[in-house]
Amino acid sequence: MNFDDLIKCTRCESDACYSQEVTKDITIELCYGCGFQSNSVMKVGSQFLEEQMEVLPELYKALIDEEEDTGKVWMPSTVNVEDKGMIFADGTGRDNWRWGAAKAIPVTEEESEKYKGKKYRPDMSTIKHFEERDYMEALSYIEIIPE
């Protein structure tokens, strides 16, 4: 990550929003302040958003935020780093959720068929929950960023 690419998040106003131009038409944003993501094609009424809505878990659909003036849509991110762990929105609805962070552990020989060649899996016994604005603490918990 290049810190020159940090902008102010238009969702939560954190100054820790990473912006990357993928093509001249597509820019992605991932806010490390709130953990939500967006991109320049994820707008209300877009085919891209409609396709996402078909596969998103119900909680993620409930947590989607729309910017009224631009139509840009923000949704929770999911992080899954094989040898570190995963972070995901965990809860029952918009008023009852937090970030869940679970550390990765090696897949045992007995589990290898279930995990289809993966070397690590999330260990749900290590799950720790973090409030929305503690997203960086969740990243630190699974050791993606230093404490």
pLDDT tens digit string along 14-59? 999 999 999 998 999 999 999 999 999 999 999 999 999 999 999 9
Residue 82 has pLDDT above 80, yes or no: yes
* 13 shares its domain with 71: yes
Mean pLDDT of the chain: 93
Q: Are 101 and 127 in contact (CB under 8 A)?
A: yes
CA distance 84 to 92: 25
Residue 147 lies inside a defined structural domain of this protein: no
Residue 2 has pLDDT above 90, yes or no: no
Domain total of the chain: 2
- Tokens found for residue 86: 């995963």
Domain that holds residue 40: 3-76
* 71 shares its domain with 88: no
pLDDT at position 147, please? 76
Boundary-marking domain end, from 76, 98, 132: 76
Q: Across-strand partners of 90?
A: 98
User: How much is the pTM?
Assistant: 0.90
Bridge-based pairing of strands 36-39 and 73-76 is antiparallel
Find the farthest-apart pair of alpha carbons in the chain and give their distance in angstroms, rounded: 53
